Each structure stands twice: as structure tokens, then as C-alpha cells.
Amino acid sequence: MRIATWNVNSITARLPRLLAWLESSGTDVLCVQETKCTAEQFPHEELRAIGYEAAVEATGRWNGVAVVSRVGLADVVHGLPDGPRYEEVAEPRALAATCGPVRVWSVYVPNGREVDHPHFAYKLRWFEALTAAVAGDAAGQRPFAVLGDYNVAPADADVWDTAVFEGATHVTPAERAALAALRGTGLTDVVPRPLKYDHPYTYWDYRQLAFPKNRGMRIDLVYGNAPFAEAVSDAYVDREERKGKGASDHAPVVVDLEV
């Protein structure tokens, strides 16, 4: 089966490309981030018309996640259990579902903004809650993965220029320690192949020709438990989807599983 994660940067703006991509890629399960819609606005009908159902955690213009599946959708968990609030709001940033033989979380980790901003402490607390929430499934025998926009580059090689990110979020030891703690539950980083160039970047800023210049970052990650990782037959970044008018600033990460 084919499973993927994609920060679509508004599912409304991306709907034509999303529908076309689901069909052309043959994706069975897609974890979506930044739907930027209300639950009522989510395009269930359009997805159903091409054979997919969806579970959605979304509240409006910010954040929002979903799991879109054509191989079943069960045992949905809405929101991150015991997750921190930001400015007293429980933001829609996580959703779990079981799709056929695989259980997944679709996550949109808080950005952090600046290292001395309250949003950064919120980001680290959010990772702690995620780690606690997934520990059971991570240690289990069923294929399980946490897929999404982690807003952390795991290593220096995962950003196009480390000098640009000195003192910035996404590359700090604290964020990378949070990733290590998450892996400590039994998860491994399923690193995709780049279809071009040397690094499997998944995000390129819209500005300053970042994509044509390949000034990217690998921040969309697939963390799978042992049964998941052992079933992986291929993984790649579909950079073709970052091209052209109407693209998201993130490309899908695609994983093929022998399950």
C-alpha cells in the first residue's frame, strides 16, 4: 500500500491539485496538514467521489489536520491527548486513525516562531505530549507511524544553508532532542529519496526562487515503528508536486509498504 504525508497549505486552495494527485499517485492513505478550513468546509464530497473517506480535526483559518483513506478509517482520535494549549486554545494539530493494517497519526507540530517566543516552549511541550501519546502504539506489533509537518530539520544536512538558520528555530538542540525522545519510543526516521539533487527536502519557501534554487528543508517526516519500517519498500519526496502555479510550499512524502 502507498501512504503519504503532505502539508497542503489550505485544502480549499489545493483541492484541484489534491484530487488529481491522489489519483495519479495511487495513494491509499494521506496524512494532511494545514487544511486551513472549518470542519464544515472540509471537501468530504469531492474526496468521496474519487473513493476516499476522511477524518478531520479542523477549526478554521489556522492549522487543521486530516487522514484521507481508501482502505478504511477506524478508531479515530481527535486532537493530541493531554496536549498543551496555546493562548488557552487546544489547536487542531493531531489526528489518529487506523487504515487497514496500519495505524497513523497526522501531525502539524507548532512552528515555534522564535527561540525566545512562548510559541517555542509550546512547541517543546507539544512534542512531550506527542511522545507520551504514541508510546503504546510505537512499541506495538501493528505497523504504526507518525507522519506530518514536524517543523524540525533533524540534521544540518536537512537545511540548504546552516548559516541562514543560526539562532533560528527548526534546528536547535532542544528541538532535535525532542525528536530523539520521540524516536526513543521505538520509532525510526523513514528517510525518503530525493527525486533530484542530493537532499530529500520537503519544503521550499515561496519567496526568492527558493524552489528553483533548491533552497529547501526536510521538515515533513515519517517516523515508523519497527513493523512499519521493516515493511517499507520505497520512500521518496514527490517534488514534481511543488512545481507550477497553485503548488503548496511543501511536497508530499510518499512511502510504499509491503503489508
Q: Residues with catalytic annotation?
A: 108, 149, 250
Q: Which amino acid is at 240?
A: E
Distance CA 66, CA 107 (A): 9
236 touches DNA (CB under 7 A): no
Facing residues of 250 across strands? Answer: 203
- Closer CB to DNA, 76 or 209, in the complex: 209
Distance CA 14, CA 76 (A): 24
* Binding map of DNA across residues 169-188, x = CB under 7 A, - = no contact: xx------------------
59 touches DNA (CB under 7 A): no
- Closer CB to DNA, 167 or 258, in the complex: 167
**From the list 28, 57, 137, 149, which residue makes contact with DNA (rule: CB under 7 A)?**
149
Total number of residues binding DNA (CB under 7 A)? 39
**From the list 203, 223, 229, 237, which residue makes contact with DNA (rule: CB under 7 A)?**
203
- Closer CB to DNA, 113 or 183, in the complex: 113
118 touches DNA (CB under 7 A): no
**From the list 60, 81, 118, 184, which residue makes contact with DNA (rule: CB under 7 A)?**
60
- Closer CB to DNA, 70 or 239, in the complex: 239
Residue 176, CA distances (Å) to 48, 116, 170, 203 in order: 38, 17, 8, 18
**From the list 48, 142, 193, 243, which residue makes contact with DNA (rule: CB under 7 A)?**
243
Distance CA 154, CA 189 (A): 9
52 touches DNA (CB under 7 A): no
**Minimal distance, residue 201 CB to DNA, in Å:** 11
130 touches DNA (CB under 7 A): no
209 touches DNA (CB under 7 A): yes
218 touches DNA (CB under 7 A): no
Known binding positions for Mg(2+): 7, 34, 149, 151, 249-250
- Closer CB to DNA, 36 or 70, in the complex: 36
Interface positions with DNA (CB under 7 A): 7, 9-10, 12-14, 36-38, 60-62, 110-111, 113, 119, 149, 151, 169-170, 196, 203, 205-209, 211-212, 214, 217, 219, 243-247, 249-250
